Each structure stands twice: as C-alpha cells, then as structure tokens.
Amino acid sequence: MYKLIELKSGVCSAKGFFADGISAGLKPNSAKDMAFIYSEEICEIASVFTTNKMTAAPIRHFRKKGAFKTNFVLINAKNANAMTGKAGIEDIDTILSTLPKELINPVMSSTGVIGVRLPKEKIIAGTKLFNLTKKEPNAAANAIMTTDSFSKQKAFRVELEDGSSFSIGAMAKGAGMINPAMATMLCFITTDAKVSKDEMQTILDEVTLTTFNAASVDGDTSTNDTVMLLSNGLSGTYNKEAFKEALQKIMLFLAREMVRDGEGATKLVTYKVTGAKSDEEAEVVAKALSNSLLVKTALYGEDPNWGRIASTVGASGVECSEETLSISFNELCVYDKGNLLFDEDMEEKASKIMKLDSFSIACDLGVGEGKFTSFGCDLGYEYVKINADYRT
C-alpha cells in the first residue's frame, strides 16, 4: 500500500531540484521566456520525442549525444530552432558552451516559430540571469508557455508503507498543434525516486500512449514535441506500482489540461470507444473523432449532431456498421444499433450536456472487445484567430 499526496511545487517538488523562469527579451513586454531545471545530483533521463521527420535541432542535438546523464535543462520559448539544419545544432553548442562548468551535459529544449535561427546573444545573456538556488516552479512553468492561456503543473509525494517517500513533479506547455501522435508540447518531469533509467523509460513509454498520445487539439504533430523525465535518486526509495500510478495521474492531468487549453477551446471532450474489433481499431476511431473538424465545430456550436459522430466512425475505415453501433453523450444514449432514438425531448437533454465544459461521447461499435479513450476539444473562432496570425 502507498499514498499519493498532491503537492503544489511542480518541478521543484522532488528533493534537490531547482527551477526558475526569467525574461530574456524573446517575448514582448518583459514576459518570462526562458526557464531552467537544475538538480544538485546528476540525473538519469527518460524521454519521448516527436515522430515528425523534420525533427528540431534540440532533439537532434540530444540524440547525437547518445546515452548521458545531466543536471541541467535550459528551455526557451518563441523560437523552435526547427528547420535550421546544422546551424541550429551549432547554435545550441555555442549557447551551452557559455554555461558554468558545474552544469554537466546541459540539455536545451525549444518551442516557438519554425525556420528562424535562435537569437543566440539574447539567450546567452538570459542564462546569466539564472540563479540555480531558486525554487520557482511557477515562474518556470510560465516561461515555457507559448499560446497557452494558463500554466500546467502537477506533483505528488508518494508515501510508501515502510515510511519512506519520493516525489514526482511536472510542468508542461501546449496548446496548439496537439495531436494523438504527440504535439507541440513540452513536458518536463522531475523525481527523486531511485529508479533505473531503463525502467523509467519503459514506464514513460507506456504511460505516454494513454495520456499525451491520446490528446488532440488540431491533429498536427510538431517538430519539437518532448517529454523528459529526470531522476536524481535523492529520496533513496522507489516502488514501481506507486511510481507508475503517480506518473500516470500527472501525465493524464497535464494531457487533459493541454486539450482544455487547446487554442480557442471552450470544451474538453472525452471519446470513449468500446466494442471495436481490436484496441488498435478503437484507437483509430477515438483519434478520428477527436480530430474531425465537423465534430469539433458541432461541439463548438453545442449541437448534439450525433450523425456526424456516426459518419466519422464510418469514415475511419475500421470494422463497424449502423446495425451494431451505439452512441451516448454522457449517460444519454442517442443512437442504439439502428434505432433512431432522437426526438425533441432527447434533443433538449442532449443539448444540455453539450453546454457543459466537459463531457464524454461514447461509441460502442458492437463488433469486439477493443477499447481506447482519447481527449479532444472544440474548434471555434478563436482557434482560427490564433492560428491565422500566429507569427505576428
């Protein structure tokens, strides 16, 4: 047995971790735009990166180093250092070479506009403002935001039966370009659990599938997506089951928060697909629903247009038929295996559900045991506004 106790200290929750955010003049109005995470002990690293082939320079730089440990991560907003070729890698080398020698194998992570060289001088000047003794998780979480409207953090202390405890804390940024196969998202997770690199990676991979990889804002996959988990082992203790549960809770919360804060989003919808021929087919349907423009605009219009749900299921290419499909909004079944249940009374009930900030749409395909749950949001005028004019 173990207990999870929620903490409010984000990436500074685990022993020996420090973080802060500062303004380097990358964002206007002196907003915070650079953050660091520092650990007083060197850390094992587990990571998941974008599947985009146009992998941004920071990810290529990370991978080039092979296996390594670090005690420092530097993050900048406003510039993704993507599509910048060898020069992008060299820019990172130049920046990192100016850091103090006690920072071992420092890692850089970037988010922002694609196809523009990093403003090296500003970033180097920014690093001079870092104070490694600071524990300012909120400032760090704010600094990494781009189009996010609020910062995203979650942390737990895990108390084990033998009286020992360890902590896990995280910060993340969204908020557009979020796709089932990762997203323009950065997530940094710190822990003092004494966990091996291999085990940490295995658990991270597994948890990613049902959390960040089940979240969709707009179906696009960015060049910079990164989830990084750092462990310094300072708690001296560990329990696999508890660690995995805490990580799952943290990543699920952050994934849902990213979707809830999806660009212009007003609703968070959970798509529960069951009865598919396989889990893989359920995943195809769940992601088709969370990515469908017609479904997303119907959500925005608070229109219980279950026909679009059915059409999207049918268009996804998996095994299904109108005779075995059923569709529910929360607990309200609106279509049941060929029976048109929808009348004025039901429309009124369904419309009420559609007005909620958060609800579920369940589709049972009725052809097997496969299931998958994804998260999506609506798409409104604000999404268009944000993305029609992102660079300016």
Q: Is 315 one of the binding residues for a copy of itself (CB under 8 A)?
A: yes
Count of residues engaged in binding a copy of itself, rule: CB under 8 A: 69
- The stretch among 41-49, 146-154, 238-246, 332-340 that binds a copy of itself (CB under 8 A) is 332-340
Both tokens of residue 134? 């600071």
What DSSP assignment string belongs to 68-104? --EEEEEEE-SB---S-HHHHHHHHHHHHHTS-TTS-
Binding to a copy of itself by residue 138, rule CB under 8 A? Answer: no
Distance between CA atoms of residues 260 and 253, nearest Å: 10
Distance CA(137)–CA(139), nearest Å, equals 5
Q: Tell me the window of 37-45, 81-89, 122-130, 138-146 that interacts with a copy of itself (CB under 8 A).
A: 81-89
3-state SS class at 6: strand
User: Whole-number minimum distance, CB 355 to a copy of itself, in Å?
Assistant: 13
Q: Taking CB under 8 A as the rule, does residue 213 contact a copy of itself?
A: no
Nearer of residues 40 and 303 to a copy of itself, judged by Cβ:
303
Find the part of the chain contacting a copy of itself (CB under 8 A) among 95-103, 132-140, 198-206, 217-225: 217-225
Q: In angstroms, what is the minimal distance from the CB of 60 to a copy of itself?
A: 10
Residue 368 near a copy of itself by CB under 8 A: no
138/224 with CB nearer a copy of itself: 224
When asked if residue 380 is in the footprint of a copy of itself (CB under 8 A), the reply is: yes
Q: By CB under 8 A, name the one of 62, 72, 156, 300 that touches a copy of itself.
A: 300
Rounded CA separation 3/268 (Å): 28
Complex with a copy of itself: residue 170 or 320, whichever CB lies closer? 320
Selected binder of a copy of itself within 10, 21, 219, 275 (CB under 8 A):
219
Could you tell me how far CA 119 lies from the centroid of its own chain? 26
Catalytic, out of 50, 127, 147, 184: 184
Q: How far apart are the first and last CA of the chain?
A: 53
**389 binds a copy of itself per the rule CB under 8 A:** yes
Position 379 contacts a copy of itself (CB under 8 A): yes
The tokens for 92 are 């990172």
Indicate whether 84 belongs to the interface with a copy of itself (CB under 8 A).
yes
> Is 184 designated active site?
yes
Provide the mask over 54-73, with x wherever binding to a copy of itself is found by CB under 8 A and - wherever it is not.
xx------------------
How far apart are the C-alpha atoms of 308 and 56, rounded to whole Å?
Answer: 36
Edge-to-edge, what's the strand order for the sheet holding 332-336? 339-340, 332-336, 326-329, 358-364, 268-276, 370-377
Q: Do residues 359 and 272 lie in contact, with contact meaning Cβ atoms separated by under 8 Å?
A: no
Q: Does 351 bind a copy of itself (CB under 8 A)?
A: no
Helix-strand-coil percent breakdown of the chain, rounded to 5?
30, 30, 40
Interface residue with a copy of itself, options 109, 151, 179, 274 (CB under 8 A): 179
Alpha-carbon radius of gyration of the chain: 22
CA pair distance 163, 270, nearest whole angstrom: 37
29 Rama class: left (phi>0) / alpha (psi -120 to 50) / beta: left
Catalytically active residues, by annotation: 184
Binding site for a copy of itself (CB under 8 A): 51-55, 80, 82-86, 113-117, 176-177, 179, 181, 218-223, 291-294, 297-298, 300-301, 303, 305-308, 310-315, 317-323, 325, 335, 338, 340, 342, 379-381, 383-385, 387-392
